[in-house]
Amino acid sequence: SGSADVGSMYLGAWGPSLLQISLFALYTFFLSRFKPDYLPPVPESELTLKGWELWKKCLLGIIPSAVLIFLVLGTIMTGIATPTESGAMGAMGALLLAWLRRAKIPNLKGLIQEAYQNTTRITAMVVFILIGSTCFSVVFQGVDGGHWVEELFSNLPGGWVGFLIVVNLFVFFLAFFLDFFEIAFIIVPLLAPVAVKLLAPVLLASMNGNPQAAASAALVWFGVMLCVNMQTSFMHPPFGFALFYLRGVAPKEVKSSDIYWGALPWVGLQLIMVLLVIAFPALVTSFLDKPAAVVQSQDYNFTTSEERTSDPSQSKVDEDAPVIFQLDKPGK
């Protein structure tokens, strides 16, 4: 068995995030080169700021946001704060930034009150979904539903590759009808045990033969992969929140159908990113902490956490890492 904490999930997401940004940037670059009509430059007459004045305005806009991001994500990854504490630090940082710019925000008190109300409403919604998903999971496990799910997905053609392809297709189409909260709280807990059973042996060698670390890395790999997949739900109907936001700021001349069709290339890039994460797990696991080496059999049972009898010569160990203990062959 294994566990994946929030900090490990953030660390594992670094590789896919940087690669995804690169894919988007390359797509935008080539589109501007070969289809310049799609991305016309800003007219010279509208460039009111140049040189240092332009840099100054950009930095004044970027630095406060970067500080706020560090208060939330940076404190988690550096171990300064827990996820709950970092959320509180982020909220206090946002209030402090709003207070510093109070002269430019005439209705600051009303906006803060509205933010409190929206936060309470969303928190209550998430908690009720969590309560409902917990009740569902208890009943589902009580009728051995977890065993059925494990048997169904463990015996798919193609082994762990077939499992990942089927699960990602399932989640992609499920995102058309369910919000990501429901998928994360209801569907993912049912699939996580199967993911550990099938994916942990794949990562055992990269984790220095440490079965516990391999199981945890498998959960991080699986979780980051599903997060990349579920991001597509922001860019396609009916929940496409990104499309709704764009509709709110776009001119009236831009039709909603144009926005939907324009989102298709970005959805395609997201799906390419999912395939890359499946094909190259090192995109996720290379950012995780490398454990000390353990001489561990390839036949380690990740379902029962017991070692099966096997030839110890088949064990995969990084010789450069320190060995902290060795599991002897049964019978010795």
Alpha helices in 143-255 (DSSP H): 145-154, 159-174, 180-182, 188-203, 211-230, 241-249
pLDDT value, residue 1: 52
- Give the tens place of pLDDT for each residue, 2-53: 577 777 888 889 999 999 999 999 999 999 989 888 888 777 776 777 778 8
Residue 163 has pLDDT above 90, yes or no: yes
- Give the tens place of pLDDT for each residue, 56-111: 888 888 888 888 888 888 888 777 888 888 888 988 998 898 888 888 888 888 88
How far apart are alpha carbons 77 and 25 in whole angstroms?
26
Q: What is the domain partition of the chain in residue ranges? A: 1-8+144-332
Q: What are phi and psi of 325, to 5 degrees?
A: -165, 165
How far apart are alpha carbons 82 and 90 in whole angstroms?
12
Q: pTM to 2 decimals?
A: 0.75
Residue 235 has pLDDT above 80, yes or no: yes
> Using CB atoms within 10 A of its CB, is residue 65 exposed (0-12), middle (13-18) or buried (19+)?
exposed
Contact yes or no for 188/136 (Cβ under 8 A): no
Contact yes or no for 22/230 (Cβ under 8 A): no
- Give the tens place of pLDDT for each residue, 259-302: 888 888 999 999 999 999 999 999 999 988 777 665 544 445 55
- Give me the percent of the chain exceeding a pLDDT of 90: 20
